[in-house]
Chain A
Amino acid sequence: MGADLADTPATAASPQGLTIDSRWRPVPKGPSALSATFRFLRHNVLSLIGVVIIIFWVVVSITAPVIAPYDPLKQSLRDRLQAPSAQHIMGTDELGRDVFSRVLYGGRISLPIGFIVVISATVIGALLGATAGYAGGAWDNGLMRLTDLVMAFPPIILAMAVAAALGAGLNHAAIALIIVAWPSYARVVRGLVLSVKKNEYVAASHAVGASHARILFRSVLPNTLGPAVVMSTLGLGTAILTFAGLSFLGLGAVPPTPEWGRMVADGINAFDQWWVSAFPGLAILTVVMAFNFVGDGLRDALDPRLRKGT
């Protein structure tokens, strides 16, 4: 409508001297998502570094079969525990496998597991939390008590117990981590829905006869996404870290899978050969730190108090 009016020739001037044309000029379009992202990254050096590191690891993980100099599973007892050299730039482990190739392949496990865990926990948590906050009553009460129940357990102990009960393996570790993670998302989204549903536009949607599902999914839930995205970004680092911890304890990836946590554990047996555990540990550190850099930047950008002064 605004555009139509703007096209209308100016025929009268207002008392302030403004023409109808200028008063009804269409609202300028907001910045596109891409340009907003670039602007955000330009003002957040640490987030920019984080994004670069994440892109680096994603590319490395995808291209690992092409760029890895050796088969990550190929054992060569003759070459066991060799220090870093031109032939094996990160040395070899106690079965003679090339540590560099295994580190490159490690991203193919940790990154997808991190994403799967966080996306699943966010979706489950957001859906349950949103319906609880929107519906209230017994459903809300019951669900919040369920989150209390899960959160009463120290996270690593619950994850260990679930992973131990299901048996070691990537899928089981992922399930354990999702079970541990979803309640936090549910509680945060529920809290946001409780405040968003008081807005007048929600009352207006009710008034025009929109269904509950439509109001929840079209009006309420999209307004809770910002904080949920920040929480997910920070959660990615935590998920990768906890998964590595489970694998380190022998409850995640099973040998000979080239998984970073498992590789650090391999280093315990070859304690004075530092390279066996140092490089996989550095890989975990850089990835987790990168997600924390981005998550921190996003949180600061979304927090008006932090944006303004502090």
Chain B
Amino acid sequence: MSVTDYVIRRVLIVIPLIIGLTLVVFLVSHMLPGDPVAAHLGQRSMEDPAIVAAFRQEWGLDQPLYVQYLTFLKNLSQGNLGVSIHTKQPVMDDLGRYFPASIELAVTAVFFAILIGIPLGIISAVKRNHPVDHGARVVSLLGVSAPVFWLALVGLYVFYLRLGWLPGPGRLDTGMTEPTHITGMFTVDSLITGNMTAFASAVRHLFLPALVLGMATAGLVTRMTRSSMLEVLSSDYIRTARAKGASEGRVIIQHALRNSMIPTVTVIGLALADIMSGAVLTETIFAWPGIGRYAFQSTVSLDFPSIIGVTLLIAVVFALANLVVDITYVFLDPRLRTA
């Protein structure tokens, strides 16, 4: 099977998965206890049956569940996720507005996680049981164990308030005009339009929230890289490479690293769940107008159309991340191309 066939087959698997997810997400969000009507109308309005009935009719909550689902599917096929009860805006528009900010944050967080985690994992494995190894293991466990909201506050206090090295919450400096909207990601848009002042400001604002968000993943990547490197380094072909006189650097980079990357790539793909979870907390503290903050506002107000929209979006991102991970395997391990 060629790589192209593999990719096409893998993409086709994602489609029924996403259709199944629509049903799952719809059912679970409606199985949750709690009344969205009560969450939206004040206590006085709740006492008036006419207002309650009008609200239910307006949002289709008076229809049987299957009718609500069929309407939802029909609307979804037309790119319509309904209107948010909370923001009164189409959910699709809300997602389009908030998603780019989150993607920008999440991708940078993953970048930091790789930048910190892989070298630390390699050093830890090569210097096994050396104080450097113990130090790296403790640092990785610190990353996994520290509450992200606390790290965010500590980071802001040290680097913004005390040292003044980095800017405070927000995506751009106060008073700065947003770059022309192309992707919604300020760093990308400002680069495309050549607005270097906005680019510098966007990068500076992105640095701390992304670093904080990536710390837990960096810890996981370090641990996984270390253990898979240790396993690979004890294999026969590495001994052979050493026996043939290959330098230690060549053995590690050319022979061991690539084969030890498969578990690490899996962890990075799966870590997206942690990053999205962390985004809810990080975005709240850094006043980052992303999906995490939107998800929080939607859930506390039991805004079903938004909850469904956000969850579906995140589920699709997970599915796509797994797809990318699977395709990366094929490039890392040629045996899988014939499997």
Chain A neighbourhood of B153, CB < 8 A = 264, 267-268, 271, 277, 281
Docked-complex contact A310 and B227, CB < 8 angstroms: yes
Chain A neighbourhood of B149, CB < 8 A = 244-245, 248, 261, 264-265
Nearest-Cβ distance from residue A298 to partner chain B, whole angstroms: 14
Nearest-Cβ distance from residue B230 to partner chain A, whole angstroms: 4
Chain B neighbourhood of A261, CB < 8 A = 147, 149
The segment from B76-84, B183-191, B294-302 found at the interface with A is B294-302
Known: A157-B311, A268-B285. A306 touches B34 (CB 8 A): no
Chain A neighbourhood of B32, CB < 8 A = 161-162, 165
Which residues of chain B in 137-151 are interfacial with respect to chain A, using CB atoms and an 8 Å cutoff? 137-138, 141-142, 144-150
The CA-CA distance from A277 to B33 in the complex, in Å, is 33
Interface size class of B (residues with CB under 8 A): 35 or more
The CA-CA distance from A4 to B289 in the complex, in Å, is 77
- For the complex, is A237 an interface residue (Cβ under 8 Å from B)? yes
Majority SS of interface residues in chain A? helix
- For the complex, is B101 an interface residue (Cβ under 8 Å from A)? no
Nearest-Cβ distance from residue B57 to partner chain A, whole angstroms: 22
Known: A264-B147, A288-B145. A154 touches B277 (CB 8 A): yes
Chain A neighbourhood of B156, CB < 8 A = 271
The residue in chain A whose Cβ has the minimal distance to the Cβ of B233 is A310
The segment from B21-29, B41-49, B171-179 found at the interface with A is B21-29
The segment from A120-128, A145-153, A209-217 found at the interface with B is A145-153
Docked-complex contact A157 and B227, CB < 8 angstroms: no
Partner of B231, one of A161, A274, A310: A310
- For the complex, is A293 an interface residue (Cβ under 8 Å from B)? yes
Docked-complex contact A157 and B295, CB < 8 angstroms: yes
Docked-complex contact B33 and A166, CB < 8 angstroms: yes
The CA-CA distance from A292 to B280 in the complex, in Å, is 23
Which residues of chain A in 254-310 are interfacial with respect to chain B, using CB atoms and an 8 Å cutoff? 261, 264-265, 267-268, 271-272, 274, 277-278, 280-281, 284-285, 288-289, 292-293, 296, 305-306, 309-310
The residue in chain A whose Cβ has the minimal distance to the Cβ of B295 is A157
Docked-complex contact B144 and A292, CB < 8 angstroms: yes
Chain B neighbourhood of A268, CB < 8 A = 153, 285
- For the complex, is B262 an interface residue (Cβ under 8 Å from A)? no
- For the complex, is B284 an interface residue (Cβ under 8 Å from A)? yes
The CA-CA distance from A149 to B27 in the complex, in Å, is 9
1/0 per position for A97-136, CB-CB distance to B under 8 A? 0000000000000000000000000000000000000000
Question: Among A248, A268, A272, which residue has the most Cβ atoms of chain B within 10 A?
Answer: A248
Nearest-Cβ distance from residue A107 to partner chain B, whole angstroms: 15
The CA-CA distance from A153 to B153 in the complex, in Å, is 27
Partner of B299, one of A46, A160, A245, A305: A160
Docked-complex contact A149 and B280, CB < 8 angstroms: no
Docked-complex contact A149 and B141, CB < 8 angstroms: no
- For the complex, is A156 an interface residue (Cβ under 8 Å from B)? yes
Nearest-Cβ distance from residue A63 to partner chain B, whole angstroms: 24
Known: A155-B277, A156-B280. A292 touches B147 (CB 8 A): no
Docked-complex contact B230 and A310, CB < 8 angstroms: yes
- For the complex, is B192 an interface residue (Cβ under 8 Å from A)? no
The residue in chain A whose Cβ has the minimal distance to the Cβ of B276 is A154
Nearest-Cβ distance from residue B270 to partner chain A, whole angstroms: 12
Chain B neighbourhood of A241, CB < 8 A = 145, 147
- For the complex, is B327 an interface residue (Cβ under 8 Å from A)? no
Chain B neighbourhood of A293, CB < 8 A = 141
Docked-complex contact B21 and A152, CB < 8 angstroms: yes
- For the complex, is B4 an interface residue (Cβ under 8 Å from A)? no
- For the complex, is A196 an interface residue (Cβ under 8 Å from B)? no
- For the complex, is A164 an interface residue (Cβ under 8 Å from B)? yes
Question: Among B27, B148, B296, B318, which residue has the most Cβ atoms of chain A within 10 A?
Answer: B296
- For the complex, is B157 an interface residue (Cβ under 8 Å from A)? yes
Docked-complex contact B24 and A285, CB < 8 angstroms: no
- For the complex, is B323 an interface residue (Cβ under 8 Å from A)? no
Docked-complex contact A278 and B28, CB < 8 angstroms: no
- For the complex, is B336 an interface residue (Cβ under 8 Å from A)? no
Partner of B150, one of A272, A281, A310: A281
1/0 per position for B107-145, CB-CB distance to A under 8 A? 000000000000000000000000000000110011011
Known: A157-B299, A164-B34, A249-B296. A148 touches B24 (CB 8 A): yes
Chain B neighbourhood of A173, CB < 8 A = none
The residue in chain A whose Cβ has the minimal distance to the Cβ of B157 is A274
The CA-CA distance from A153 to B299 in the complex, in Å, is 13
The residue in chain B whose Cβ has the minimal distance to the Cβ of A284 is B147
Docked-complex contact B147 and A281, CB < 8 angstroms: yes
Partner of B311, one of A153, A267, A292: A153
Chain B neighbourhood of A278, CB < 8 A = 154
Known: A154-B276, A161-B29. A305 touches B231 (CB 8 A): yes
- For the complex, is B320 an interface residue (Cβ under 8 Å from A)? no
Partner of A154, one of B34, B138, B314: B314
The CA-CA distance from A162 to B156 in the complex, in Å, is 31
Partner of A292, one of B34, B141, B299: B141
Would you give 10 A-B contacts (Cβ < 8 Å), ordered by A?
A152-B21, A157-B307, A158-B28, A164-B299, A245-B147, A271-B161, A277-B153, A281-B146, A288-B145, A310-B234
The 10 closest A-B pairs by CB, nearest first: A165-B34, A281-B150, A156-B277, A289-B145, A310-B230, A288-B145, A160-B299, A165-B32, A161-B299, A164-B300
14 other contacts beyond A46-B137, A164-B300, A274-B157, with CB at 8 A cut-off? A149-B24, A152-B24, A154-B277, A158-B28, A160-B296, A160-B299, A160-B300, A162-B32, A249-B280, A250-B300, A268-B285, A285-B147, A288-B146, A296-B141
